[in-house]
Structure 1
Amino acid sequence: MVHTCVVAGCRNRRTPGSTLSFYRFPRDPQRKQRWIAAVNREGWIPNEGSRLCSTHFISGKQVKNPRSPDYIPSVFTTAPLSPNMKEASACELYDKQEAQVEAANALLFLQGQGRFLEDSHQIHSQEETESVSSSLSSCNEEEDDNDDEDDREEEISLTSIIQGDKPVINIPTTSSDYQSSLEALKKENMELRESVEKMSLTEASFRNDPEKVRFYTGLPNYFVFETVMLLLLPHMKGDKNTKLSKFQQLLLTLMRLRLDLRNKDLAYRFGIKVATVTRTVHRIINIMFTTLVPTAVFWPSRVELRKNLPASLRSTYPDCAVIIDCFRVSLEKEDINQQVDSMPTQSALVNELKYVIGVAPQGVVMFVSSGSPGHVTDKSLVESSGLLFKLLPGDVVLAERDFDIDDLVDARKAKFEITSNYVKSCQSGQNEEGPSLMGAYSDKQNVHMHVERVIEMVKRRYCMLTGPVESPFTVIDRTSNVSTFDKIVQVACALNNLCISAAPLE
């Protein structure tokens, strides 16, 4: 519905993209009557659709504190009087005087001058009471001379109220002085809003701040963040029980992965309940697991692998398809105790989860297994992970250590090479072969360092992967038969692939 401000001469309307706010008239009868008096439309009574825009409040919005100057709208532009309009009565003059008092309070509040002294409050209350009684009596007696005297007394009292130990604030006595002070306050208010916006976790504060995007999300810039957002949007059905926008839901989840913040910390930062944080993280992780992971973590074709093979492997292993390694993540103590009770003989190895990771020669993660207990052997882990089914005849699998999977790889008509053994042979044959073997040694060393750097990069970019893993994340989802932390590992690898590789082979 399009709302229009009811103030005479104000043409503000609620339109798409407008930053103005429109407020209903208060339900409290006394306050509502004061709003009607401030609007100053003779014989007019507001209805349910009547709205007042935010430009008629000093701070730009209404305040429900009766002591605030914005409890009643007070900013109105002057308009020429029509012949049918009556002259202002003493009651209307009192409203004008009250608006001046409220404007003075706003000046003190916004300029940080502190609160009034108790004695000043008492003096103000007494003088205001006297002013009210004199104004009301003038209403009944209709004496214009007394109205002028009240105006002069009000100006004097305003100046005397503000004096004390604090610096004296000069209250504007003319409309031009009042307008200039109002413009200065509006400018200061805008600067404060911009400062608060930079410190907030809103979309506008991230758009032009790549350093902030990197710190909170691990992504290189806002463009990549927006790309991920556009991919997830069709699947992000709004949660009716949350105050978070879709942008904030994704940001909260990435902050959980990136900084490993606890749910209560995130609840305080976003002003929501802990249960809402938990529900949001699990829901967004599931969406990224089903949409982002298949897009960013996949096994390239042999043509693509050979076409983009780094120069350091082109001469030694032109058929290299994948470089594999394992990494481990520690479990929370509660999970450790549960597993130790069930497997007492393996207590030293059940305090962690173990994953096998496959890295393409180009530096991107192309395979991640599900997590297995730390006591599982490398051979069993690789065999159950499904990695072997992706190999083609003639492919070469590289690893820095022996996984004891030669027979499994041979069954796929592929070849498994251990770089550490090759390095030893290069060192032992250095005197006979000379620089040629040392060059191969350098290539092998690069391969090992390369895959280590990729794993460390993922863990450094998303600290949640360093552990310990909290208990709720190790529970296996019945629908997908995958634990939430396994999904988190794959999502982190997918997000890492979207960033520019920091570990090239060359």
Structure 2
Amino acid sequence: MVHTCVVAGCRNRRTPGTTLSFYRFPRDPERKQRWIAAVNREGWVPNDGSRLCSTHFISAPLSPEMKEPAALEILDKQEARVEAANALLFLQGQGRSVVGERGQEEHPEEREQEAIVEESASSSLSTDEDDDEDDESMSDSKKGSFAQTSDVPINFDDILKALKKENQSLRESVEKMSLSESSLKNDAEKVKFYTGLPNYFVLETVMWLLAPHMDGMKNVKLSKFQQLLLTLMRLRLDLRNQDLAYRFGVKVGTVTRTVHQMVSIMSSTLVPTAVFWPSRAELRKNLPAALRTSHPDCAVIVDCFTVPFEEPVSRGNQQQQQQRVVPSCQGAGTSYNVLKYLIGVAPQGVVTFVSRGVLGNVSDKSLAEGCGLLCKLLPGDVVLASRDLDIADSVAARGALFKIAGSYQREVYGSSEGALPADTSSETASVQRHVDRVISMVKQRYAMLTGPVESPFTTASERTSNLSTFDKIVQVACALNNLCISAAPLE
């Protein structure tokens, strides 16, 4: 500690190499008041750090009491040990280590200050008679300080163990709050909340599938795992980009770029793996009992759903959609500020097809004919629905059959038509619940599909693709939902 002389007008300071000594104020009230008067500072009161330099003292013969170097030397060593112990405790509290023996002196000049009493007698305004009392006051101060400290033994090993335990606890708390692999690895509920996937094993599998395709992504601040996690959180919780930027400590532009890039990679890699049209043999092998008698050739159950968007679709993308599909009077009553999708669900409960999004005024027939679903049908396949989508003729053109569960309907094989008796109303309800359950499950699992869709996601993501980024997001959400294997089969 650097000490400065408190005498008015004195600028002496304790610095390395100085020959000056600095003295504490005595504890005795009367002696202390005389020192204060000698300082000559009106209204001033000393504190524990106040010191007087040796230039204001007059040398005097040593008193008989001071001529006991052995006692003084022992006292000095004792106080040096106490001060060293206090310094070590303070440094450990600050998280630093102290090298040296327990009794090592940290401030040798402080010890010199304590022992220099034998060379001084009083201040320049004191008498020779006061010198012995000053020395005795300093000696008593030393003894009192040592006595107080020695009454409470300090166990530095216990203190160090407590600090290490506290440090470990803080590290674990920070790790639990972080969004890292280790924080999710043994916490299935956390994985499910942030990603929608059932456990870390499924998340790790998705990461394994995508990692080879992420090498071209240049992102120095986010690891591959963090890029995947950020994207899944965007789809799962529909968080704003600014929110994600705060959570991951990056800029908003980094979040936007990462989401678009990861969605494109997941669309080209994950969707073909998880959303696919099963073979007829596979469908019949695992056909639920509810359809085994009534519709043994059922290949898919279809329906449409819509997602609202915030702003009108960009002119370029709107023109592309109008070129792909032709509006009809049947869809004229549908809102223009929604995107419409056709979804196909297998009787086993997984999504086997999802179309690109089109403006909501497009008819079901136009949507079905332009999305590619009909190309997957084989002669003899049955396409089941709970309502009339006006696609019977289009399905019949592929040699397949369109059936509306629970009502009179047309069955078209080539050019021949005929009517079948109505199915039970319970079958209609069962089919409707099945499709609604799957669509609802996907939307609940990935809240971004509930909308409204932000305009940057509605434009075509690539010039060579007719899919917008949000179209890819819908497909990716369906693929991830299939990986969860939680959709119940038709009952």
TM interval, short-chain normalised: 0.5 to 0.7
Secondary structure, aligned partner of 2:250: coil
Residue 448 of structure 1: CA displacement?
1.6
1:101 aligns with 2:106: no
Residue 195 of structure 1: CA displacement?
2.3
Please list, as runs of the form range in 1=range in 2, the aligned pairs for 1:272-287 lying within 5 A after superposition: 272-287=250-265
Aligned match of 1:501: 486
- Structure 2 vs 1, CA of residues 133 and 464 (structure 1 numbering), >3 Å: closer, same or farther? same
Code of the residue aligned with 1:492 in structure 2: it is A
Residue 191 of structure 1: CA displacement?
1.8
Aligned match of 1:126: none
Q: Tell me which moved more, 405-414 or 254-263.
A: 405-414
2 CA distance for matches of 1:389 and 1:347? 28
1:390 aligns with 2:376: yes
- Structure 2 vs 1, CA of residues 104 and 449 (structure 1 numbering), >3 Å: closer, same or farther? closer
1:134 aligns with 2:119: no
Code of the residue aligned with 2:188 in structure 1: it is P
1:407 aligns with 2:373: no
Residue 287 of structure 1: CA displacement?
0.9
Give the conservation status (yes or no) of the 8 Å contact 1:313–1:443. no
Code of the residue aligned with 1:102 in structure 2: it is L
Structure 1 residue runs of 5 or longer lacking an equivalent are 1-87, 108-129, 144-148, 161-169, 424-436
2 CA distance for matches of 1:407 and 1:104? 82
Residue 306 of structure 1: CA displacement?
0.7
Aligned match of 1:18: none
Aligned match of 1:211: 189
Give the conservation status (yes or no) of the 8 Å contact 1:172–1:178. no
Secondary structure, aligned partner of 1:333: coil
1 CA distance for matches of 2:143 and 2:239? 56
Code of the residue aligned with 1:470 in structure 2: it is E
1:301 aligns with 2:299: no
Secondary structure, aligned partner of 2:262: helix
Give the conservation status (yes or no) of the 8 Å contact 2:408–2:422. no
Q: Tell me which moved more, 227-236 or 442-451.
A: 442-451
Aligned match of 2:205: 227
Scaled by the length of structure 2, what TM-score is found?
0.66
2 CA distance for matches of 1:204 and 1:172? 43
1:490 aligns with 2:475: yes
2 CA distance for matches of 1:270 and 1:354? 33
Aligned match of 2:435: 451
Residue 203 of structure 1: CA displacement?
1.1
1:460 aligns with 2:460: no
1:197 aligns with 2:197: no
Give 2:234's match in structure 1, choosing from 256, 280, 288. Answer: 256
Residue 465 of structure 1: CA displacement?
0.2
Aligned match of 2:162: 184
Deviations 1:212-265 (A, max 9, x none): 111111111111111111111111126444412211111111110000000001
Give the conservation status (yes or no) of the 8 Å contact 2:341–2:358. yes
Q: For the aligned residues, what is the CA RMSD? A: 4.0
Deviations 1:22-71 (A, max 9, x none): xxxxxxxxxxxxxxxxxxxxxxxxxxxxxxxxxxxxxxxxxxxxxxxxxx
2 CA distance for matches of 1:276 and 1:321? 43
Aligned match of 1:50: none
Please list, as runs of the form range in 1=range in 2, the aligned pairs for 1:12-161 lying within 5 A after superposition: 98-104=87-93, 133-134=109-110, 156=145
2 CA distance for matches of 1:340 and 1:357? 21
2 CA distance for matches of 1:394 and 1:234? 41
Give the conservation status (yes or no) of the 8 Å contact 2:175–2:183. yes
Q: Which has the larger radius of gyration?
A: 2
Deviations 1:66-92 (A, max 9, x none): xxxxxxxxxxxxxxxxxxxxxx9x999
Identity %: 61
Give the conservation status (yes or no) of the 8 Å contact 2:89–2:156. no
- Structure 2 vs 1, CA of residues 396 and 273 (structure 1 numbering), >3 Å: closer, same or farther? same
